[in-house]
Structure 1
């Protein structure tokens, strides 16, 4: 299998046919066709189904496309890293909604100012959803809530967060789990690390036996808590960014309240954009820079 054949294969897929791919690659169509046939011969499978003048990826071709894209991207990253090329192209970054709202604006503004050649796409989601997208290479890096245990990831700690329970403004003090036994829980869906932190504080493995109102927005969560629908656990930094929120804060034990947001990426796949973000994070973060976890 020749790397140049993979590049031709991907161009045929991207352009939707041999003629357009040949134009893009500055080759004659017969040369592109020959490359595809050579690749199919070396793989021992058909990569396309040919229907009149159109090509459709076969199941084997769809599988190879994923590997081809990864190999080409790694080749580009290696060239850029060795040559010291500035970040450019698409950078897919994930973040918790809380982090995106309360921590990232100044960081992303500075990144945008420094690296004008980068087109940054920000995706928000729960801790577990972001890790899945990172593992599936739908994201290049992500800010999550818990340091990943999987050896396939590397990370650096970034933001120190303190969690607090919130209730309606007129609710009595909450000091222990039994103070909220009759109250509904307002939280993000399953997969949220802060939801798991609340479960730990409640001393539960799940919230199956509790009334839970699942919402996907901190503004909606705060609004429902304000209206007396229940309690929630959220970062104080989010509340500080919502001065209009009319809720009461209830502190919990330091060991359960303090978390550190890490920046996570796939082990061995550090693009120039990820390197640039790590450097910027280290310079702007209040936490001291630490060695990436192994």
Structure 2
């Protein structure tokens, strides 16, 4: 069995279609289809049901996924084992949107300079969705908001940095937080998100009530709306905020209790521990 065929199988599952998997694998759709057909013939089962442009994995296919991922990971780890520094191989890293615009660009520059043989696949998503994919072994590690629950013992958690809560408003607004909440439309950081719960806690503690204009789980979109004069908001101050919204004023809520903690989560039993530790050292400026 060709391990490349297993990689294509996993790509179709992760991307949701043969066409998207082909773009990810830098192959043609027909090449991906031929690999899937070869696996189906060798295993004697149907692996996907084709519905329109999507490819839905069958029950038999999903039974194979955990072992297929382990096989692919072990094959990829062979190069890492031959590298005395462990700086060779592939990593699938999930990251929330503000990490993509704040942490990832300088990290990629360092990585290209110090470990050019490491290949990163960066997958965007919300903290909750990325955590689910980590637990399903679809990702090697995730950079997310600190979960509002204890992670299982099989998951390692490393705090990367914290972000203070900040009140952002258009430069034309000179009101305090409480005054602005009553006089200016409030754009609410989704209270159901892992980071949004900290804002909700602050508002509750300060006894501030209002009728939000809308709820958003996209911090970049919130910052742009504030910059355009649509309203005000309370958000974690992330690296890169003022690069995308320069017509704003920022007032920090200097209370540690409401800081958003950004953490790296990865399995304790991982073959990529040396690569992950190296990434952590880059983030910490070591």
- TM-score between the two structures when normalised by the length of structure 1: 0.67
Of residues 211, 214, 226, the one that matches 1:212 is 214
Structure 2, unpaired ranges of 5+: 10-31, 48-54
Match of 1:75 in 2: 74
- Of the structure 1 ranges 154-163 and 191-200, higher mean CA displacement relative to structure 2 is found in 191-200
What corresponds to 2:121 in structure 1?
A: 121
Shift of 1:144: 1.0
Structure 1 residue runs without a partner (length 5+)? 22-31, 37-45, 50-55, 289-294
Cα deviation for residue 57 of structure 1 reads 10
Going from structure 1 to structure 2, the CA distance change for 1:99 and 1:202 (only over 3 Å counts) comes to same
- Which protein is bigger by CA-based radius of gyration? 1
Distance 1:244 1:264 in 2: 30
> Could you state the TM-score of these two structures normalised by the residue count of structure 2?
0.68
CA contact (8 A) 2:236 2:260 kept: no
Task: Work out the CA distance in 1 between the residues paired with 2:164 and 2:187.
Answer: 18
**1:30-45 alignment, distance < 5 Å:** 36=43
Q: CA deviation at 1:111?
A: 1.4
* Contact preservation (8 Å) 2:191, 2:200: no
Q: CA deviation at 1:164?
A: 0.6
Match of 1:259 in 2: 260
CA deviation string 1:4-29 (max 9, x = no partner): x89799489672344xx7xxxxxxxx
1:114–1:69 CA distance, 2 compared to 1 (3 A): farther
Change (3 A) 1:285 1:223: same
Aligned pairs for 1:42-61 (under 5 A) are: 47-48=45-46, 59-61=58-60
Q: 1:167 aligns to what SS in structure 2?
A: strand
| Residues 208/126 of structure 1: CA separation in 2 closer, same or farther (3 Å cut) | farther
Q: Is the contact between residue 47 and residue 60 of structure 1 (CA under 8 Å) also seen in structure 2? A: no
Give me the whole-angstrom Cα distance separating, in 2, the residues matched to 1:72 and 1:213: 42
What is the CA-CA distance between 1:88 and the residue it aligns to? 4.3
8 A Cα contact 1:96 1:126, kept in partner: yes
Report the counterpart of residue 173 of structure 2 in structure 1.
171
Q: In the alignment, is residue 159 of structure 1 matched against residue 153 of structure 2? A: no
Cα distance in 2 for residues equivalent to 1:11 and 1:124: 20
Superposition RMSD in Å: 3.9
State the shift of 1:182 in Å.
5.4
* Partner in structure 1 of residue 233 of structure 2: 232
Contact 1:93 1:121 in 2 (8 A): yes
User: 8 Å contact 1:94–1:143 — kept in the other structure?
Assistant: yes
* 1:103 paired to 2:103: yes
Q: Secondary structure at the match of 1:260?
A: strand
CA shift in 2, pair 1:182/1:153, >3 Å: farther
Does the 8 Å CA contact 1:47/1:57 hold for their aligned counterparts? no
- What residue is the counterpart of 1:201 in the other structure? 202
TM-aligned CA deviation for residue 77 of structure 1: 6.5
Distance 2:58 2:93 in 1: 29
